Amino acid sequence: MQLFIQTVWDGISTGAIIALVAVGLSLVFRISRFINVAHVDFATVAAYVTLLVAGSTAVAFPVAALVGIGAVMALGLLAYLLVYRRLAGERSISLIIASIGVAFFLRYLVTFIWGSNQLAFDLPVLRSIRVAGIRMAPFDIAIIATTLVVFAGLALVLRFGAFGRSLRAVADNPELARVSGVAVDRVVKQMWLIGSAFAAVGGIALAAKTVITPYLGWHLLVPAFAAMILGGIGSVGGTLLGALVIGVVGELAAMYWLPTYRLAATFGVLVLVLMIRPQGLLGKREVAR
């Protein structure tokens, strides 16, 4: 039982990072209607920028992380203005292909500047603390807490804030929103800033947990995509739930089945859920109006 709870906890800590990256992917999808493949490379760029700032000056790591997040927010907005906005109205496949182009550009830019050898943040590795016999790494506690706080904040903003109302209006029907006086372009820009910020936080967290390579974020694309689908596209709470399920199922499969079947197990669950609930765990069914 103890091993089971430990495994679930470990899965939650992985799921938290997946959730941070996946929610940005989901936000972009909700309003721009395409899968921004480059989203996970935004996460990679955040890790490198953070490393650059933390490594070259005496600023503390949190400050460096803030710079990394800011830089990637600017990057996300820039990608929207230079690439995606120009393709607005095209079929979503054109936008996906454009985003693959952006992804490759960013990955090779990072490789060109920093090389392909692994790098790492200069952070101490701390021993776990034991809570009721369960090992909890301080880093995992911090990342789970961060995830919960930012998700709660995002949920509140989306549900009650003016931005949330505008966002939902634009997501539902951009034309109707525009004639109703919503500044659609501004809402879309804000959404790109927020989505990119989530990619950045996820990327920095993943980099702190693992190592930094040009493929850092890329390896998260499939889990993040799966979490978004599983939770229900566009649902913030659903994305969090989906990511946690992906994390926990993967960890349980590795523990009780075979480590090499991690991904197979998570996709098995994904298929099962979608057979029963095609809209995902917390997603709403698309209805024609």
Partner 1 sequence: MKLTRRRLLESGAAAGAFAMSSAAGIRLTVAQEAEEIRIGTLCPITRAGSVFGPGIQRGIQFAADDINAAGGLLGGRKIRLFNEDTQSDPDSAVRAAKKLIEINETETLLGTWSSGVTMAIAPIAIEGKVVNMNVSGTTDLRTMDKDEWIWPCGGSNIAYGKMMGEYAIAQGYKNASFLAFNNPSGITLGEEFKKVFVDAGGTCEVVVYNPNQPSYRAELTRALASGPEVIALGSYLPDTTILLKEWYAMGEPVDWVGPIWAVSPALIEAVGADAAEGIVSIGAVPNFDSPAFESFKERYESAMDQPILANPFAAIGYDMMITCALAMEAAGSSKAEEFRRQIRAVSSPPGEKVYTVAEALEAVRAGTEIDYEGVGGNMDFDETGEAKPYFAYWKAEGGTLNLKGPIES
Contact mark string toward partner 1, 63..102, x via CB under 8 A: ----------------------------------------
Would you say 15 or 195 has its CB closer to partner 1?
Answer: 15
| Residue 92 structure tokens | 């979503």
With CB under 8 A as the rule, give the number of residues binding partner 1.
38
Q: Which of 44, 147, 213, 239 binds partner 1 (CB under 8 A)?
A: 213
The DSSP-derived string for 197-223 is HHHHHHHHHHHHHS-B-TTTTGGGHHH
List Cβ neighbours of 137 (8 Å cut-off, separation of 6 or more): 13, 126, 128
Q: Which of 3, 131, 149, 152 binds partner 1 (CB under 8 A)?
A: 3
Would you say 6 or 279 has its CB closer to partner 1?
Answer: 6
Q: Is 258 in the site for partner 1 (CB under 8 A)?
A: yes
Would you say 7 or 36 has its CB closer to partner 1?
Answer: 7
Q: Is 6 in the site for partner 1 (CB under 8 A)?
A: yes
Would you say 3 or 88 has its CB closer to partner 1?
Answer: 3
Q: Nearest 5°: phi and psi at 134? A: -95, 130
- Stretch in the footprint of partner 1 (CB under 8 A) among 8-16, 70-78, 94-102, 177-185: 8-16
Would you say 28 or 220 has its CB closer to partner 1?
Answer: 220
The DSSP-derived string for 86-148 is GGTTS-HHHHHHHHHHHHHHHHHHHHHHH-SS-B----PPPPPEEETTEEE-HHHHHHHHHHH
Pair 14, 251: CB distance under 8 Å: yes
* Closest by Cα among 66, 103, 58, 57 to 84: 103
| Residue 156 structure tokens | 């509140």
Would you say 54 or 167 has its CB closer to partner 1?
Answer: 54
Cα–Cα distance measured from residue 133 to residue 147, given in angstroms and rounded to the nearest whole number:
24
Q: Which of 106, 204, 220, 249 binds partner 1 (CB under 8 A)?
A: 220
Under DSSP, is residue 265 helix (H, G, I), strand (E, B) or coil?
A: helix
For residue 239, what is the enclosing H or E element?
A: helix 236-256
Interaction residues for partner 1, span 99-158 (CB under 8 A): 116-118, 120, 124-128, 135, 137, 139
Would you say 98 or 221 has its CB closer to partner 1?
Answer: 221
Exposed, middle or buried, 27 (CB in 10 Å: 0-12/13-18/19+)?
buried
Minimal distance in Å, beta carbon 270 to partner 1? 17
Minimal distance in Å, beta carbon 281 to partner 1? 21
- Stretch in the footprint of partner 1 (CB under 8 A) among 88-96, 100-108, 187-195, 260-268: 260-268
Residue 129, beta-bridge partner list:
136
Minimal distance in Å, beta carbon 202 to partner 1? 10
Q: Which residues bind partner 1 (CB under 8 A)?
A: 3, 6-7, 10, 13-14, 17-18, 116-118, 120, 124-128, 135, 137, 139, 206, 209-211, 213, 215, 219-220, 223, 251-252, 254-255, 258-260, 262-263
